[in-house]
């Protein structure tokens, strides 16, 4: 195995147990950077070895069932009691990342994550990992997880900035994600209603209230008569039902934003038909 790794025939290896434990210091595999080994456990009896195996199996079960990570080296440990209260914030953070990845994620240089209000009572690292997982998943796929998300972001040259603030702009808690690209920046804010119900409450400075779930059509448009009717007509012709609608503007007849939660995916043809109208600045479909 050592010779195969040295020659490049095998890229690397992860080894749990050697034939003789612990292995001698001069063992050829221990000298290779491409080899990962686990610590030697001084279990003198077969019963002790069994107990260690059972303990490890229980830890895996706890993670798969409840998301509780114990004794990990490469991911922050979260106690079960803390996990119960932080979980809604983790889910919100991941949804914010997922939203921005589809709404505004071309040529990203920097992500700024601002935690405000009661969410600042929790450790930032697991929240940021959840957000990065959501942000990177549409680009990379299922291989993204809480462990490798920060490393994958770094590989892509994305700078991560984290900040805390006591003030949450009128909310008890808030997470704001700002994406900066060569062409400008875009931000989305989320909060929890009643400490459990996630909501999108601001997109690019427009106040909204949308549940981050399902198919969401995000439209930037001019605030003019007939625009909403045109949007409804296009979706009706495509047999797409509107479940919820959120509209927001800064001033009369200025720019506005519309978030429409729909019951089914919108075809690219329908999106292009929406974009063809002079009053529609952009039409982007987001799946959460």
Whether residue 71 lies inside any domain: the answer is: no
**Domain extent at residue 59:** 2-66
Final residue of a structural domain among 178, 206, 234: 206
Closest CA to 76 of 127, 115, 14, 119: 127
Tally of domains within the chain: 3
Structure tokens at 269: 């043809």
247 and 178 assigned to the same domain: no
241 Cβ contact list (under 8 Å, min separation 6):
235, 262, 263, 264
* pLDDT on residue 229: 96
Helix (H) or strand (E) holding 282: strand 280-287
Final residue of a structural domain among 187, 206, 225: 206
pLDDT 10s per residue in the chain (288 long)? 999 999 999 999 998 877 787 888 899 999 999 999 887 776 667 787 788 789 889 888 887 877 677 777 777 777 777 888 999 999 999 999 999 999 986 789 999 999 999 999 999 999 999 999 999 999 998 889 988 999 999 999 999 999 999 887 889 999 999 999 988 999 999 999 987 899 999 999 999 999 999 999 999 999 999 999 999 999 999 999 999 999 999 999 999 999 999 999 999 999 999 999 999 999 999 999
122 and 185 assigned to the same domain: yes
- Taking residue 229's Cβ as centre, other Cβ atoms within 10 Å add up to 9
* pLDDT on residue 43: 62
Whether residue 121 lies inside any domain: the answer is: yes
* CA distance linking residue 240 with residue 237, whole number of Å: 8
* pLDDT on residue 69: 76
**Is the entire prediction scored with pTM above 0.85?**
no
- Taking residue 224's Cβ as centre, other Cβ atoms within 10 Å add up to 14
* pLDDT on residue 142: 83
86 and 198 assigned to the same domain: yes
- Taking residue 236's Cβ as centre, other Cβ atoms within 10 Å add up to 11
Distance of CA 15 to the CA centre of its chain: 31
Q: Produce one character per residue of 14-23: b if its CB has 16 or more CB atoms within 10 Å, e if not.
A: eeeeeeeeeb
3-state helix, strand, coil in the chain (%, to 5): 35, 30, 35
């Amino acid at each position: 195995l050592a010779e195969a790794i040295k020659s490049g025939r095998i890229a690397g290896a992860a080894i749990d147990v050697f034939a003789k434990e612990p292995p001698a210091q001069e063992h050829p595999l221990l000298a290779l950077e491409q080899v990962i080994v686990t610590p030697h456990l001084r279990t003198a009896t077969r019963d002790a070895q069994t107990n260690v195996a059972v303990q490890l199996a229980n830890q895996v079960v706890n993670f798969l069932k409840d998301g509780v990570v114990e004794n990990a080296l490469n991911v922050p440990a979260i106690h079960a009691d803390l996990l119960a209260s932080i979980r809604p914030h983790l889910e919100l953070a991941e949804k914010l990342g997922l939203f921005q990845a589809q709404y505004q994620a071309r040529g990203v240089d920097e992500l700024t994550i601002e935690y405000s209000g009661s969410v600042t009572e929790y450790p930032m690292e697991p929240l940021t990992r959840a957000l990065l997982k959501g942000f990177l998943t549409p680009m990379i796929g299922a291989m993204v997880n809480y462990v490798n998300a920060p490393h994958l972001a770094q590989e892509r040259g994305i700078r991560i900035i984290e900040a805390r603030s006591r003030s949450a702009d009128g909310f008890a808690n808030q997470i704001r994600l700002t994406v900066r690209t060569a062409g400008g920046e875009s931000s989305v804010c989320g909060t929890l209603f009643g400490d459990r119900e996630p909501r999108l409450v601001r997109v690019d400075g427009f106040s909204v209230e949308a549940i981050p779930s399902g198919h969401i059509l995000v439209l930037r448009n001019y605030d003019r008569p007939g625009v909403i009717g045109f949007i409804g007509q296009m979706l009706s012709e495509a047999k797409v039902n509107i479940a919820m609608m959120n509209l927001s503007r800064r001033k009369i007849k200025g720019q506005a934003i519309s978030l429409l939660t729909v019951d089914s995916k919108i075809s690219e043809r329908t999106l292009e038909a929406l974009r063809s109208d002079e009053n529609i600045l952009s039409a982007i479909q987001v799946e959460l």
